[in-house]
Every structure is written in C-alpha cells, then in structure tokens.
Amino acid sequence: MQITVVKHPLVQHKLALLRAENVSTNKFRLLTEELARLLAYEATRDLPLETTMIAGWCGPVEVQQVKGKKLTVVPILRAGIGMLNGVLDLVPSAKISVVGLARNEETLQPEPYFEKFVGNLEDRLALIIDPMLATGGSLVATIDMLKRNGCKDIKAIVMVAAPEGVKLVNDAHPDVEIVAASLDSHLNELGYIIPGLGDAGDKIFGTTK
Ligand SMILES: O=P(O)(O)OC[C@H]1O[C@H](OP(=O)(O)OP(=O)(O)O)[C@H](O)[C@@H]1O
Ligand SMILES: O=c1cc[nH]c(=O)[nH]1
Ligand SMILES: [Mg+2]
C-alpha cells in the first residue's frame, strides 16, 4: 500500500487527544492544525534540493536549498480547511487550490460543488489535505480532478485513513502517496471510520447534523 503512517510520538500523542469523546471545537481545531504541520513535514521529506553558494558570516559557504519546486496545497472543503494553516506554516509561499465535495450520507458518494485550481498544475506538486479518508471516494474524485487539469505529482495528507479507502485510492491512483497519522480498523455501516474521530467537519466547524 502506498501509505506512510507517521509514528512520531508527537503525532501519535496529538491524535490520541483528538480521539477523546468530549474534545471541544477549539481543541479539535488546534490539534488538527498542529497535526497537519507535523504530517506536512513528513510529506515534504523528498522535495528536491539544489546546492548553491551563498555569502556566509565567514565567507562563501555551500548550502542546500529547496529547488524552487512549485507547490499547491489542495484542501477538500470543508474539513480540509482545518489543516490549511498548519501546512502553510511549512510552505508559506504555496498557492492554494480548492475542491468542494460533500459526501452524500445515503450513497456515500462524493458530490462536487466547487473547484478552483491555480495555474501551471502540470509543473506543481499538489498536496491534498483532508482529515478523513473513509471510503476513498472524495480523495479519488479530487485526484481525478487534479489529473484532468494536468497535475502529475500528487500526495495526500490525512489524519486518519480506513483500509477500504486506502485500497480504493491505491487501485485507482497507485502513483499517489498517502501520508497519515493512523491507519484505522474499518468503516462502520454508515461509512464512518472506526475508531476514527467522528465527523471531522462538524468538529472543526462546530456544526451538528
Ligand atoms: O472517503 P470518503 O468516504 O469520501 O469520506 C471522507 C470525506 O468525508 C468528509 O467530508 P464531508 O463530505 O462529510 O464534508 P465536510 O468536510 O463538509 O464535513 C471528510 O472530510 C472527507 O472529505
Ligand atoms: O469517519 C468519518 C468518515 C467521513 N467523514 C468524517 O468526518 N468522518
Ligand atoms: Mg468532505
């Protein structure tokens, strides 16, 4: 499976706090942002570097810098917005592309309602962000949209993934790496991840069904 589960103690600790039954909206939002920052660190581990010479304090010094790789962060509305600031802390110059998808609660199919991509997708790494990868329908639909618009280099950062969703994404798009804090057990009959986090969008935005 093309999934990297980040076992770092800080990632696992923050995920544990997110799983608590009575976590407040404020705390869920803060932890989501912190976790996104740590997961983005892992997801960007293979950005290409180039060697350059700069003027240092004691004269010329050879340094390594990120090779001007263009990047777009792609939050899936709504819940992906909760991860956006954490990721932008690490890649502050990244352009943002937005995809709006709502999962139909009966069919569990993603229903698209918005898309706005930045230019030059063919030259950019796209970092899709969404806290939850459940059936995988929303992530596959987003990757389909990005590829239709020319994007060739795509990674997805999620907090919690279900095996069913990872399989759907791997089968449809084996080139896309998923970076996650946890690969959970399974989906329940309503399509929720077990043990999961519950409804991440509702918890981030403070809404109820
Ligand atoms: O893998 P899937 O089965 O497609 O489910 C995962 C999707 O469901 C949730 O969003 P939802 O559609 O509930 O919308 P929201 O972010 O507005 O709450 C979640 O944030 C993912 O986008
Ligand atoms: O467990 C799940 C599944 C889909 N969306 C969520 O927010 N949580
Ligand atoms: Mg969604």
Task: Burial-class residue 58 by CB neighbours within 10 Å (0-12, 13-18, 19+).
Answer: exposed
Residue 1: its pLDDT value, please? 57
- The secondary structure of residue 198, as a DSSP letter, is S
Classify domain 3-205 by CATH number.
Answer: 3.40.50.2020
Residue 68 has pLDDT above 90, yes or no: no
Q: Where are the domains of the chain?
A: 3-205
Instruction: Evaluate: CB of 165 within 6 angstroms of ligand 2.
Output: no
Residue 180 has pLDDT above 70, yes or no: yes
Residue 190: its pLDDT value, please? 97
Query: Hey, what are 103's tokens?
Result: 């999962």
Answer yes or no: are the C-beta atoms of 170 and 136 closer than 8 Å.
Answer: no
Say what percent of the chain tops pLDDT 90.
Answer: 98
Residue 69 has pLDDT above 80, yes or no: no
The pLDDT of 50-79, averaged and rounded, is 95
Q: What residue type is 149 in one-letter code?
A: N
Instruction: Evaluate: CB of 75 within 6 angstroms of ligand 2.
Output: no
The pLDDT of 102-131, averaged and rounded, is 96
Alpha carbon of 21 to those of 18, 155, 188, 202: distances in Å? 8, 30, 17, 14
The pLDDT of 69-92, averaged and rounded, is 96
Residue 50: its pLDDT value, please? 96
Residue 2: its pLDDT value, please? 86
Instruction: Evaluate: CB of 41 within 6 angstroms of ligand 2.
Output: no
Interface ipTM: 0.98
Q: Which atom of ligand 2 is nearest to the CA of 162?
A: 1
